[in-house]
Structure formats: structure tokens, C-alpha cells
Chain A
Amino acid sequence: EVQLLESGGGLVQPGGSLRLSCAASGFTFSTYAMSWVRQAPGKGLEWVSGISGNAFGTYYADSVKGRFTISRDNSKNTLYLQMNSLRAEDTAVYYCGKEDCSGGGCPMGFDPWGQGTLVTVSS
């Protein structure tokens, strides 16, 4: 069974940093692109960042470009999101999602999603 488990969320002050992790199991992790998607409280889904299976391709939403860095360790089956210069508007539940191809931007959608980890940016 494919499983994704996010961790690393918490309360951080504006301007601070946080690193999220997504532990994957049940599939050959290095073969598939992965993405981070967030959802602010009471709001809709927002794609944040994606990475190809071999980590050569990384992609970012304009809202986080230059502040967030996506990476992966295929030897540990783990996806990461390093978040710097955090702002109040970054407060959200962050989900990781598996794409069904290796290159990123897969037409088959995100399946499955993890349970999410909450990031709260507040003083």
C-alpha cells in the first residue's frame, strides 16, 4: 500500500524557518515525481512546489519562489520542503502528493496524498 506521512510542522515566528518531511512507502520512490500542496485555514488548495523523480527538475509557485526549496533523498524515500523567510500567509496545512510519472507535471494527478502537517506562522 502506498503511504505518505508528513512531519515537521509547528508554530514559527514571521521571518523564521521550518523544514517539512514526507516519508514515502509502498512504491519505488525514485521513479515518481512529488509535489507539495498547501491549504490555508478555511481556504482552497494551492500547489506549492514539485520535483522530478531524479531531483533534476524543481518547480515553484511564484508565491514561494526564492523562499522555499524542495528536495528529496531517494535513498531514504523522503521528500523535503525547506521553508525560509516565513510569512503569516504561509500558515496552512501542507500536503505531499505522489505524481504518476517521473518528470513532474504529470497529467495523472496527485494520488495519494498524505494526511498533512500544519504550519502556523505567528508571533
Chain B
Amino acid sequence: SYDLTQPPSVSVSPGQTASISCSGDKLGDKHVSWYQQRPGQSPVLVIYQDIERPSGIPERFSGSNSGNTATLTISGTQAMDAADYYCQTWDTSTGVFGGGTELTVL
């Protein structure tokens, strides 16, 4: 089975840039989506097809994917960005999620 690995936690100061990694074998050959989940809420899509932002998602959210690593970058991080973030891809029509990263803004 295909695995995606994320760091369990990332901390960032308000206004700074947060980077969350997601690694998998030849992940750059696949498309990656990213989801934000605040406590008690359903996940929200923030990045799809590696770099695309859905309408309504702030420009400070961006993504990249190359080699074995995809990265979600949040520029000018705000307190409201504190949440769990999950990467996701597909492996032969089977969905795969990373283990999730808790982003702390302090």
C-alpha cells in the first residue's frame, strides 16, 4: 500500500511562513490535495492538483510538489490558520491520506 508521511506538528509565529511537508514514493508523479480541519469541523479543501487554490481560499496558501515531497506553505500565518492539515493523493483509484500535521500559531 502507498503511504504518505507528515510531521505530527509544526509551530509558527504570527506573520511568519509555515511549511508543512508530505512525503511519499515518487509523490511528484501524482497529484496532491491539502485539507484544513479546525477542531470540531469538517475538513476544507485548501489546495488541489498540487498548486491550485479553490475559490475563497486566501492567497497566503500555496502548494508545491516535486520528487518525493509535496509542501503546503502558508505565508503571513494568522491565528485563524491554527488547525490540522492533511495531504491526500490517489494510488490506483484508492485514496490515501497523510497522518496529519497540527499547526500551532504562537
Binding site for B on A (CB under 8 A): 35, 37, 44-47, 50, 57, 59-62, 95, 100, 104-105, 107-116
Q: How far is the CB of B94 from chain A (nearest CB, A)?
A: 6
Cα(A49)–Cα(B76), bound, Å: 36
Q: Judging by beta carbons under 8 Å apart, are A45 and B100 in contact?
A: yes
Given A45-B43, A115-B42, answer yes or no on A108-B48 (Cβ-Cβ < 8 Å).
yes
Q: Judging by beta carbons under 8 Å apart, are B43 and A113 in contact?
A: yes
Given A44-B100, A45-B100, A109-B35, answer yes or no on A104-B43 (Cβ-Cβ < 8 Å).
no
Given A45-B43, A45-B100, answer yes or no on A59-B88 (Cβ-Cβ < 8 Å).
no
Q: Judging by beta carbons under 8 Å apart, are A107 and B99 in contact?
A: no
Cα(A107)–Cα(B32), bound, Å: 7
Chain A residue contacts of B90, Cβ below 8 A: 105, 107
- Chain B: interface secondary structure? strand
Q: Say which size band chain B's interface belongs to.
A: 20 to 34
Q: Judging by beta carbons under 8 Å apart, are A111 and B54 in contact?
A: yes
Given A105-B90, A109-B33, answer yes or no on A95-B43 (Cβ-Cβ < 8 Å).
yes
Chain A residue contacts of B35, Cβ below 8 A: 45, 109-110
Cα(A81)–Cα(B35), bound, Å: 23
Which residues, 38 to 60 on B, are CB-close (under 8 Å) to A? 42-45, 47-49, 52, 54
Q: Judging by beta carbons under 8 Å apart, are B44 and A37 in contact?
A: no
Of the listed residues B49, B54, B94, the one surrounded by the most CB atoms of chain A closer than 10 A to its CB is B94
Given A109-B35, A114-B42, answer yes or no on A62-B1 (Cβ-Cβ < 8 Å).
yes
Closest chain A residue to B1 by CB distance? A62
Given A109-B35, A115-B42, answer yes or no on A45-B49 (Cβ-Cβ < 8 Å).
no
Q: Judging by beta carbons under 8 Å apart, are A59 and B93 in contact?
A: yes
Which residues, 75 to 106 on B, are CB-close (under 8 Å) to A? 84, 86, 88, 90, 93-100
Given A107-B31, A108-B48, answer yes or no on A116-B42 (Cβ-Cβ < 8 Å).
yes
Q: How far is the CB of B51 from chain A (nearest CB, A)?
A: 11
Chain B residue contacts of A104, Cβ below 8 A: 93
Q: How far is the CB of B92 from chain A (nearest CB, A)?
A: 8
